[in-house]
A and B are shown apart, each in its own frame.
Chain A
Amino acid sequence: MMAARLTSRTATDASPRGRRGVRTGHAVFGTVLAIAALAAPQIFTSGYALDVLVTMVLNAVMALGLAIVVRSGRMSLAQATFGGIGGYASGILMMQLGWSWWPAWFASGVAGAAFGLLLGLTSLRLRGFYFAIATFTFSLIAIQILSAWRDVTGGLSGMFGLPIPPDLFGYDWLDPRVYYYFGLAVAVGALIVCWLCTEGSRFGRRLRALGADEIVAGSIGVPAAPYRILAFAIASGVAGLAGSLNAHFIGGISPADIVPSASVFILVMVLAGGAQSLWGPVIGAIVLTGIPEVLRASAQWSMVLYGVFLLSYVYLFRDGLVPLFQRLAGSLTGGGATAAVAARADAPAPGTVRPHAHYRVEGASLALENITCGFGDYIVLDGVSFAAQKGEIFGVIGPNGAGKTTLFNTLTGIAPMRGGRLLLNGAAVRPSPSGMAQLGVGRTFQHPFVLGNHTVAQSIRVAAEARGSIQDQDYLDWVISVCDLATLLDLPTDRLTHYQRRLLTIAMAIAPRPALLLLDEPLAGMDETETAELKEKIAAIHDALACTILLIEHKIGVVMELCDNLAVLDFGKIIATGEPHAIARDPVVIEAYLGA
């Protein structure tokens, strides 16, 4: 029962019946919304209502665009500014350069995207608050430039009397309904783009993984920078198109229309509706555009209202309104409860799937030559050299603080490599987080980091796509089977136990069939049964894949049993390498580590 409720909560990808339920839910909801959207201007016919409807639909487009950025893990306070850039772009092109509407409208999208790209490129390193402030500053700079550039933009007074677009299939744009239905079509397009940038494409799924956890996403080959920049450009492009429509609908644009608070309101729509859910931004835009109008609230009351929304969002529904409604609906009808419980009818039972011979990979050989790593004056790795042969399990042991995890971080490009060479299959490589995953290096972390906002199935799926689309579905069945995850597929990752998380991280690391697998203390925090089980699983994985494994582990018995060779690290230096039994007898090692 518990599990069932949790499952219905994620609601994005459930078991066959549950998922069918969710899909039906999406379909029913989508149909109802579509009919409502199409019928609205026939029901609310006053000019006032039509005006609100157009604003609503254009806000939805803006919010859908911004949702892409939010899902990639950044909060932008400049969405309305990109809309304004779009409005100015089409206005300037039409009024000053004599372009016609359609090219100018497309150019407004391009202009939005171009400035999005610019801001994305420059503020790439920033996260969280710093990124938000950078976008906020960008927005203020844009306002100042648009105000100062009087000859072209009309300065503070803005540009007015924007040309009315040419008739659309014989319908005059003076009628707000033309804007409405055209805006609706654009919103449908934005919804599809937004879906493609979330669930609907490899790019989207990987972008979402990036939003959930940058480090984990890097370990499964998602390059943070280009993905975020692309996401930002797409979001800004969408905003540009919506902003241009809005400017032409209003008949003009001025710097006052793109103040940061306008951007904050768009952000509120995204968050309040549910940034992670498909319909969230749309519902957020409808609710938050509609309520102040229904209440005929002044700007001040609207401000308070938006503020209250934000506060209740933080306290009450941090997933947003849509997931909240879904939960409420779920608990009212009990729907999905039976379908969603752990086991799927067709899921493989643990350990029953035998690996095929073709799962085997060409294990990579790895050589470290004089690798150095440090932060400031502090040297963590001091000329580390060793080599792991193709297909062997190579253990790295050493006392706490010896630099073992830093070694892995250096190999995967997370920690800076100051000197030395890293050879993969004999070729020198320059490690970068996503680049190493592309080269077939999988890794787990000492702490079992998983992707938030994802289910187990989603996590494995996105990991399996590390090096392209999923080639081999059977292989993934085996991965799920060997990691005992069949019964957990629909659980959100934050509901897993420590052990289950560990299994998931291993499953994610092997999902793309790595040639080299880096396991960072996989047995940390495991009890005896779990240790024994996990040891078996590592062996089974090694048997099936024949990949090279680099293993950091403190449980020395397991290391002795599993590893073909060992390196001992102490104070950033290799003090011994060799076969396990030889190492165990090495007096230097005994003094530094084993004896202690």
Chain B
Amino acid sequence: MQLFLQQIINGLLLGGMFALMSIGLSMVFGIMKTVNFAYGALYMVGGYAAYWSAELLGLSLLPALICAFLIMFAVGAVIEIIGFGQFRGNDDASLIFGLGLSLVLKGGAVLAWGSQNRFIGDNSAPAIELGPFIVPYARMTAGIASLALIGLIYLLIARTGLGRTFRAVADNAERAQLLGIDPRLINVAVFGFGTAIAAVACVLLTPVYSLSPAVDDTALFTAFTVVILGGLGSIAGCLVAGLILGVIYTLSFAYLISNVAPIVPLLVLILTLILRPQGLFGQKERLA
């Protein structure tokens, strides 16, 4: 029983990490309906932005994180302006643009930075013992960051004027334009923000997963799974789906043979696609 509870805790922590990995995509997907196949690659590049900031400028973790946030905001904005923004309304073109960009970024990352694992700062933080349960420090940080970011974005979108503007654009770009909002500007801001959040997630998860050009696949697939399961554009759905997925993942690894276990989360995704493509929190609860 105690082991089972420990596994649930593991699952929830992992779920928090999954959610953290997915917030950036969820925002962009939810507000702009943009299918960003380059999300994983941008997440990975964001990690390197922090890594090189730390290495080259000798920054510690927090300044490096801020540095990466700013760099990736700019990168995201540029990609929106010259890339996705050009293809709005043409899903196939966005999809192919994203695929192309991710191949270039990933191939380029290996060529430029090598494929060895990297860490930012110290990654040997110990586990925290809560009674009989063990909570790895890095995972707890990631989980808390995940909750905080999701809460922040929820408040930003649900409670502030800027959030109302975002929602107006999400609901109806043309009408928003009539109200004097420039949807292009909002899109650039949202995409930049989403990309920067992805970078933050990558940095926070580096102590657990380390950083290498290969982290993009996990991030991309996890984020898509979480967003689809949670429902397009639902920030709360992102958290709930992340937690559900984390628990399912952990329990299948705990109680199934390890080569069968990875199939379970995939089955969850494909069943969601087949039976409830709008996800758990589908359109009804758009964006909050």
Contact of B96 among A123, A134, A136, A313 (CB under 8 A): A313
Q: Which of B101, B269, B277 interacts with A311 by CB under 8 Å? A: B101
CB 8 Å contact bits of B76-109 with A (1 = contact, 0 = none): 0000000000010001110111011111111110
**What is the bound-complex CA distance between A561 and B220, given in angstroms?**
60
On chain B, the residues within 8 Å of A147 by CB distance are 259
A300-B107 CB under 8 A given contacts A133-B228, A311-B100:
yes
B277/A271 in contact, CB under 8 A: no
Q: Are B107 and A307 in contact (CB under 8 A)?
A: yes
Q: Tell me if A304 is interfacial: C-beta within 8 Å of chain B.
A: yes
Q: Is the CB of B259 within 8 A of A128?
A: no
Secondary structure call for the A interface: helix
**Contact indicator B95/A132 (Cβ below 8 Å):** yes
Q: Which B residues are CB-close (under 8 A) to A300?
A: 107, 110-111
* Known interface pairs A129-B91, A132-B95; A311-B104 also in contact (CB < 8 Å): yes
Which residues of A lie under 8 Å from residue B62 when comparing CB positions? none
- Range of interface residues on chain A? 35 or more
**Contact: A138 with B91, CB < 8 Å?**
no
What residues of chain B lie closer than 8 Å to A148, measured between beta carbons?
Answer: 257, 259-260, 263
Cβ-based interface call for B56 (8 A):
no
Which residue of A75, A123, A302, A311 is within 8 Å of B273 (Cβ)?
A123
Are A318 and B93 in contact, with the CB atoms below 8 A? Answer: yes
Near B by CB (< 8 A), chain A positions 298-312 give 300-311
Q: Is B173 an interface residue, CB under 8 A from the partner?
A: no
| A308–B103 CA distance with the chains assembled, in angstroms | 8
CB-CB under 8 A from A268, the residues of chain B are 99
B135 at the interface (CB under 8 A from A): no
B274 at the interface (CB under 8 A from A): yes
Given A130-B273, A133-B273, A314-B96; A304-B104 close (CB under 8 Å)? yes
Q: B177 to nearest A CB, angstroms?
A: 21
Separation in Å of the A30 CB from the closest CB of chain B? Answer: 28
Tell me if A310 and B107 are in contact (CB < 8 A). Answer: no
B100 touches A309 (CB 8 A): yes
B121 lies within 8 A of chain A by Cβ: no
Cβ–Cβ contact A144 & B93, under 8 A: no
With contacts A133-B228, A311-B100 taken as known, whether A144 is within 8 angstroms of B263 at the C-beta atoms is: yes
Would you call A31 an interface residue if the criterion is a C-beta within 8 Å of the partner chain's C-beta atoms?
Answer: no
The answer to whether residues A303 and B266 also contact, given A148-B257, A310-B97 and a CB cut-off of 8 A, is no
Near B by CB (< 8 A), chain A positions 146-181 give 147-148, 150, 155
- For residue B43, CB closer than 8 A to chain A, the reply is no
Q: Which residues of A contact B13 (CB under 8 A)?
A: none
Is the beta-carbon distance between A307 and B95 smaller than 8 angstroms? no
B27 at the interface (CB under 8 A from A): no
**A 108-160 contacts with B by CB, 8 A:** 122-123, 125-126, 128-130, 132-134, 136-138, 140-141, 144-145, 147-148, 150, 155
A128 close to B91 (CB less than 8 A) = yes
A306 vs B101: C-alpha distance when bound (angstroms): 10
Partner of B262, one of A144, A302, A314: A144
Q: Which residue of A lies closest to B258 (CB)?
A: A148
Please measure, in the bound complex, the distance between the C-alpha atom of A145 and the C-alpha atom of B264, giving whole angstroms: 11
Q: Is A230 an interface residue (CB 8 A)?
A: no
Which chain B residues lie closer than 8 Å to A310 at the CB level?
A: 96-97, 99-100, 103
* 12 A–B contacts from the bound complex (CB under 8 Å): A123-B273, A133-B269, A134-B270, A134-B274, A144-B266, A267-B99, A300-B110, A304-B103, A304-B108, A306-B103, A309-B100, A311-B100
> Which 6 pairs between the two chains have the least Cβ-Cβ distance?
A310-B100, A307-B103, A303-B107, A307-B104, A304-B107, A148-B259
Task: Name 15 extra pairs, CB < 8 A, besides A122-B270, A144-B266.
Answer: A122-B274, A130-B277, A133-B224, A134-B274, A141-B266, A304-B104, A304-B107, A304-B111, A307-B99, A307-B103, A307-B105, A310-B100, A313-B96, A314-B87, A314-B93
